Amino acid sequence: MYRSHNCGELRIADLGKEVTLSGWVQKGRDLGGLTFVDLRDRYGITQLVFNMDENAELCTQARKLGREFVIQTIGIVKERSSKNPNRPTGDIEIEVTTLQILNESKVPPFTIEDESDGGDDLRMKYRYLDIRRTPIQNNMIFRSKLSLETRKYLDTQGFIEVETPFLIKSTPEGARDFVVPSRLNPGQFYALPQSPQTFKQLLMVAGVDKYYQIVKCFRDEDLRADRQPEFTQIDCEMSYVHIDDILDTFEGLVRHLFVHTLGMDLGDFPRMKYDDAMRLYGSDKPDLRFGMEFVEMNDVAKGHDFSVFDSAELIVGICVKGIAEQYSNKDMKELTEWVQRPNIGAKGLVYVKYQEDGSIKSTIGKFYSDEVLQSWAEKFGAQKGDVLFILSGETDKTRKQLSELRLEMGKRLNLAKPGDFKPLWVMDFPLLEWDEDTARFYAMHHPFTSPKKEDIPHMMTGNHETLKNLKADAYDMVINGAEIGGGSIRIHDRALQAKNFKLLGFTPEEAENQFGFLMGAFEYGAPPHGGLAFGFDRLCAVMNGQSSIRDFIAFPKNNQGRDIMIDAPAEIHDNQLNELYISLNPKGN
Amino acid sequence: MYRSHNCGELRIADLGKEVTLSGWVQKGRDLGGLTFVDLRDRYGITQLVFNMDENAELCTQARKLGREFVIQTIGIVKERSSKNPNRPTGDIEIEVTTLQILNESKVPPFTIEDESDGGDDLRMKYRYLDIRRTPIQNNMIFRSKLSLETRKYLDTQGFIEVETPFLIKSTPEGARDFVVPSRLNPGQFYALPQSPQTFKQLLMVAGVDKYYQIVKCFRDEDLRADRQPEFTQIDCEMSYVHIDDILDTFEGLVRHLFVHTLGMDLGDFPRMKYDDAMRLYGSDKPDLRFGMEFVEMNDVAKGHDFSVFDSAELIVGICVKGIAEQYSNKDMKELTEWVQRPNIGAKGLVYVKYQEDGSIKSTIGKFYSDEVLQSWAEKFGAQKGDVLFILSGETDKTRKQLSELRLEMGKRLNLAKPGDFKPLWVMDFPLLEWDEDTARFYAMHHPFTSPKKEDIPHMMTGNHETLKNLKADAYDMVINGAEIGGGSIRIHDRALQAKNFKLLGFTPEEAENQFGFLMGAFEYGAPPHGGLAFGFDRLCAVMNGQSSIRDFIAFPKNNQGRDIMIDAPAEIHDNQLNELYISLNPKGN
């Protein structure tokens, strides 16, 4: 027996017991005739004590223990004279009678502490040491708990977890697939799923009624900072449902998860139409932890000989409370430069300061009288001490820019508080997006999304402008400005699905070749159905108030898609290539 | 709202309620002025009734419903005059007031009944219809329940589910990998994991302590009848454990699963050494639902001038109870031919019949006196009416042949009863297997398996014969003759691991290139650890008394590794190949 207890469970009630503990040496301290060793495992840290006077040999042995040595000890639980209230085991220590080294350790390349001195690359190369750190280990435990609670909730709601295949078929629509050459079918390839979308719809046709799966998905994308080539979804689908059935069910799921992991009841989630989200926050995933709703000003700002506004499609502003005195001219200049940065792209920033002394200071004071600017204050609900920031230009771009500024101000003023969670459903997304460059429509959600029932006739017969305005039965769940899930009611009618493929630029042959199996299934009694998928990695991060998903993934890849610990991907043997009927083509593209 | 109730829940207590049901038309029957429609969903079947006298239009509409049409109905729950005691809803029917067709269906290519008339290929092509059949749907529900119960049990035991990566590195040792070309790393490939073996060991080094995962694994093998290129494992690993800790934990898991799915307590699992299993059953996965243990006879059968036995390495038999009168000469001849079939490969079959009248009849009567044959009866515990079957030859082959005969007799005599479950741990497997053809050792379990502690010195210094006799701390869980899981205590010492790779024919460079990350991890405080993996598909099948895993997999592949429903694998676009820096090489091998 390697241990009678773990390193986190002994308490004052255990005094006098002989116990066996195993774990890692966190650190040792020599104080006079005493040597203290902190012994660590997943469950906690327990202090071991060795007395030079009582057992010189054992104590000498203990003094030679290096950091991260793996040891087994037998000893007696004693009360500590100097207790550590910050540690659950802080009232006791183990007076060691036997010590055995189970495995030695080289000096680790970085400290195994909550705050490590290891850089990103080093931590990833020695990920097995990085995970020993409590914050990362806690992330793994949180993730495991979250997935189990997800399953427990969905089980009580009658969902069945069904595993869908990983070796499927490549579909050029959407993101790039990872492909897998087939040895048994020369010249042919499987693809790894970007999502189980078509399979979960087939499961609805199959009468599974309520499906879920926590499942890996794959996208061969150029990796941005926080994207991973493999990622995990909570994937769900239900039959015989309208939108409300789905929203209620998955709002219930997320509320359950918050209650059972963070002990927090989120209450009912507000629902906002996509158009309203864009109008009020310039974003389809607004962070509702703070206000600063957009106020559109075309009616009050045009016609005052300020050509910038007069020529703008949209003039829109936000009111930032209480910073009038705090933000100097220099600050305003810096903020103007901030919105002018290429990744924001505003031409300039107009502000109106309502100062504490009642005066008004503005970059556009020579075009607008104080009376006019005062009337704007009413429109915005601004008071003394507040500042309006106003942007103008083409509608979509301006909204996006102001959304960035709003989030930046929220950040600078600490309005987006950690531990505060503001969920939201965003509804009624457009069905199609027109892309000017390729002169074609793209599916805003995906090609299987149903238009809203009242829009179906327009979809079947509408002209270009009508098509642009079609709304979908699609919805996203947003928490604190992060999209954590999204879904839709699906098309379950072959003709409507064929029409959608046509609008998306598929020839009938392409549609048949890629999705014939699904359209065929729709002819054999497909029930109405819909569902959604949560980004599980993102959900873990958002619930912990963190912006990066990487520390919630045990073995993530770096930005080149590499696992630098195992050094993958790597070259393979020529005979492997030959068996797969492929060869390297170094010129590639 | 598509439904107020599902098709399986209405009872006599619901009489008089107005309900809304949706589902598939199982079948319709017209009886005089009444039309009955069985409406089906995942939860059951409810009878709808339409009355021509009361509502001719509605009834006419109902008579036009085809099989598998998707409909929604509103109606009143009524008591049936002719009840169906075989159906939970059999006391009631719905007197329909409103009927709406939600989707039509073509005539399905096979019947959606418990016993379908569809052949394998047709069922796989239309798998979404096949899954509508209750037995397949029940398999999916069973599988989902089994995975959830697995997680619940392991959670209570302190295990964390950690997701390990799917895009890893190809390791030529073992089965063939599926590989995935990397676009961002030209000329390099990921491999899909055959198991998360190295990652779970790294998680032990990382201090995760107790890990599990229900996870897809991949092997590019030539597919035998019941193999799938992707399959699911319950993968587990524990730190600071000896064998007993592991066996107790996972025996507990399987007992939990049987209690919570089949309501059956398996009791304590017997444990048997590999050598004993081979000696007594000729198999490392004996079916213990019946006896017929092997009895070795070299001591009593040699030296009687019967050259076949005199020259044999092993003479071994089984006693089959009570068939002496039942098995005619013709039957014996047929059985002899059965053991001579190429896939069994015995030269012949010796039998000794102890007939009810006290006489003895045997193929070798002229070499052995009745007194000798009578003494054999005592050795076997045979009585009047029993028959001994005896094979002889080279030890390993003869045992294998007799094992096949034993299983065949168990089958013919219905001794392997469905619903009877006999679990077993097989222990102390050999560490290494010598292969004459390639003149090298192979790992009996895998290269990370630890020799038994007492064998470690022999492993480090032993000669060829010593190495062949090394025993491993490896174990299999067997139920009813099927291996449902296996594992081992792992090596956690770099030098021992390096030695094992050397014995397995790796050069130091190959070992470092392929598994350097693991051996490196062993230098930073690797704890003693071990674990096991269950074949989840197999476990589902065995627990349901079925021999094929295919009907427990929602979307299985056929023997050519094809999904014939979606028609995968398939050709991909040239630009996909170019982006991946590979080209087709039709000559291949």
DSSP A588: -
Closest partner residue to B189 (CB to CB) among A203, A570, A585 is: A570
Q: In terms of CA atoms, which chain B residue is nearest residue A203?
A: B128
With the C-alpha atoms ordered B558, B562, B563, B566, is the resulting torsion angle positive or negative? negative
β-strand B482-489 against B474-479: which pairing, if any? antiparallel
- Asked if the model's pLDDT at residue B225 lies above 70, the reply is no
Distance spanning both ends of chain A, measured CA to CA: 59
Average pLDDT of span B536-551: 95
Domain assignment present for residue B192? The answer is yes
Read off the pLDDT of residues B449-468 as tens digits, 9 standing for 90 and up. 999 999 999 988 888 889 99
Global confidence as pTM = 0.96
Decide if B278 contacts B406 (C-beta within 8 A).
Answer: no
Mean pLDDT check: name the lowest of A120-124, A220-224, A301-305, B251-255. Answer: A220-224
Report helix, strand or coil for B75. strand
Q: How many angstroms separate the CA atoms of B502 and B491, rounded? A: 14
Q: How confident is the model at residue A462 (pLDDT cuts 50, 70, 90)?
A: confident
Q: Of the candidates B1, B102, B130, which has its C-beta nearest A527's C-beta?
A: B102
The per-residue pLDDT for range B177-206, each reduced to its tens digit, is 999 999 999 999 999 999 999 999 999 999
3-state class (DSSP) for residue A278: helix
Q: Give the pLDDT score at B503.
A: 93
pLDDT over threshold 90, residue B375: yes
- Taking only the tens place, the pLDDT of each residue in A409-457 is 999 999 998 899 999 999 999 999 998 898 899 998 899 999 999 999 9
For residue A118, is pLDDT > 90? no
Q: Do B207 and A41 count as a contact with CB atoms less than 8 A apart?
A: yes
Structure tokens at B346: 């015995």
Residues A125 and A216 in one domain: yes
Residues A139 and A189 in one domain: yes
Q: Do A451 and A512 share a structural domain?
A: yes
| Phi/psi at A229 (5° precision) | -65, -30
- Average pLDDT rounded to a whole number, residues B168-183: 90
Residues A445 and A422 placed together within one structural domain of the fold: no
Q: Does A172 touch chain B (CB under 8 A)?
A: yes
Residue A278, domain member (yes or no): no
Asked if the Cβ–Cβ distance from A493 to B103 is below 8 Å, we say yes
Chain B hits for A523, CB-CB cut-off 8 Å, are: 105-106
| B187 and B126 housed in the same domain | yes
Q: What is the pLDDT of residues A233-267, one digit of tens each?
A: 999 999 999 999 999 999 999 999 999 999 999 99
Domain annotation covers residue B327: yes
Distance from CA of A563 to the nearest CA of B (A): 8
Decide if B375 contacts B304 (C-beta within 8 A).
no
Rounded-to-integer distance, Cα B160 and Cα B150, Å: 12
Q: Which of B125, B137, B164, B167 to mutate to test the interface with A (most CBs of A within 10 A)?
A: B167
Cα separation, A251 vs A485, in Å, equals 11
CATH code where residue A325 lies: 3.30.1360.30
Q: Average pLDDT for residues B443-454, to the nearest whole number? A: 93
Listing DSSP states for B295-347 in one string gives EE-HHHHSSSS-HHHHT-SEEEEEEETT-TTTS-HHHHHHHHHHHHSTTT--S
The CATH number that applies at residue A88 is: 2.40.50.140
For residue A58 the two structure tokens come to: 């054992």
Question: Which of A:515-554 have CB within 8 Å of B?
Answer: 517, 521-528, 553-554
Domain that holds residue B450: 430-471+493-526
Tell if the CB–CB gap between A128 and B180 is shorter than 8 Å.
Answer: no
Q: Which of B103, B135, B152 is the last residue of a domain?
A: B103
Please say if the pLDDT value at position A147 is more than 90.
yes
- Residue B185, chain A, CB below 8 Å: the answer is yes
CB B186 within 8 A of CB A193: no
CB pairs < 8 Å spanning A and B = 376
Residue B390, both tokens: 């005896």
Cβ pair B148:A161 closer than 8 A: yes
Instruction: Give the pair of three-digit tokens for residue A150.
Output: 């997800």
Contact B102, A239 (CB under 8 A): no
In a shared domain, residues B498 and B581:
no
Residue A589: pLDDT over 90 = no
Q: Which residues of A are less than 8 Å from B130 in CB distance?
A: 206
The confidence score (pLDDT) of residue A190 equals 97
Q: Is there a contact between B144 and A126 if contact means CB atoms under 8 Å apart?
A: no
Residues B295 and B404 in one domain: yes
Residues A130 and A98 in one domain: no
Residue matched to tokens 């007492």: B454
Across the interface, which of B137, B170, B587 has its CB nearest the CB of A570? B170
Q: Does one domain contain both B128 and B267?
A: yes
Is the confidence at residue B33, as pLDDT, over 70?
yes
Side-chain half-sphere exposure of A493, counting CA atoms within 13 A: 13
> Are B257 and B138 in the same domain?
yes
Note whether residue A114 is domain-resident: no
Q: Answer yes or no: is A87 within a domain.
A: yes
Lateral strand order in the sheet of A160-161: A160-161, A210-218, A230-239, A529-535, A482-489, A474-479, A423-427, A271-273
Nearest CB to A205; choose among B128, B525, B577:
B128
Q: Is the dihedral of CA B402, B405, B411, B414 positive or negative?
A: negative
Q: What is the mean pLDDT of chain B?
A: 95
Residues of chain A neighbouring B578 (CB-CB closer than 8 A): 585, 588-589
Q: Examine the domain organization and report whether B354 and B247 are in the same domain.
A: no
pLDDT level of residue B589 (50, 70, 90 thresholds): low
Q: Do the domain assignments include residue B278? A: no
Q: pLDDT tens, A515-532?
A: 999 999 999 999 999 999
Q: What ipTM score was computed for the predicted complex, to two decimals?
A: 0.95
- CA separation for the pair A365, A352 (Å, rounded): 8
Over the stretch A481-498, which tens digit does the pLDDT of each residue have?
A: 999 999 999 999 999 999
B289-302 pLDDT tens trace: 999 999 999 999 99
CA dihedral B289, B290, B296, B300 (to 10 degrees): 170
Q: For residue B524, give how far its alpha carbon lies from the nearest alpha carbon of chain A (Å).
A: 4
CA atoms within 13 A on the CB side of A176: 17
Candidates A139, A15, A184; CA nearest to A89 is A15
Same domain for A170 and A25: no
Dist. CA A400–CA A413, nearest whole Å:
20
Among B75, B103, B131, which residue terminates a domain?
B103
Closest chain B residue to the Cα of A244, Cα to Cα? B1
Q: Give yes or no for A577 touching B (CB within 8 A).
A: yes
Residue with the bigger pLDDT between A316 and A463: it is A316
Q: For the segment A21-34, what is each residue's pLDDT rounded down to a tens digit? A: 999 999 999 998 99
Please state, for a pLDDT cut of 90, what percent of chain B lies above it: 92
Whether A585 and B577 lie within 8 Å, measured CB to CB: yes
State the CATH number of the domain containing residue B228.
3.30.930.10
Beta strands in B32-84 (DSSP E): 34-41, 44-51, 70-79
Mean pLDDT of A298-314: 96
CB A470 within 8 A of CB A482: no
Bridge partners for B24 per DSSP: B40, B70
| Residue A70 to residue A393: CA distance in whole angstroms | 64
The total number of structural domains that make up chain B = 4
Residue A181 domain-assigned (yes or no): yes
CB contact under 8 A, A568 and B144: no
Per-residue CA distances from B523 to A27, B498, B527 (Å): 18, 12, 10
pLDDT digits (tens, 9 = 90+) for A171-220: 876 789 999 999 999 999 999 999 999 999 999 999 999 999 999 999 99
> Over chain A, what is the mean pLDDT?
95
Give the mutation candidate from B27, B555, B562 for the A interface (greatest A CB count, under 10 A): B555
Q: Is residue B588 part of a domain?
A: yes
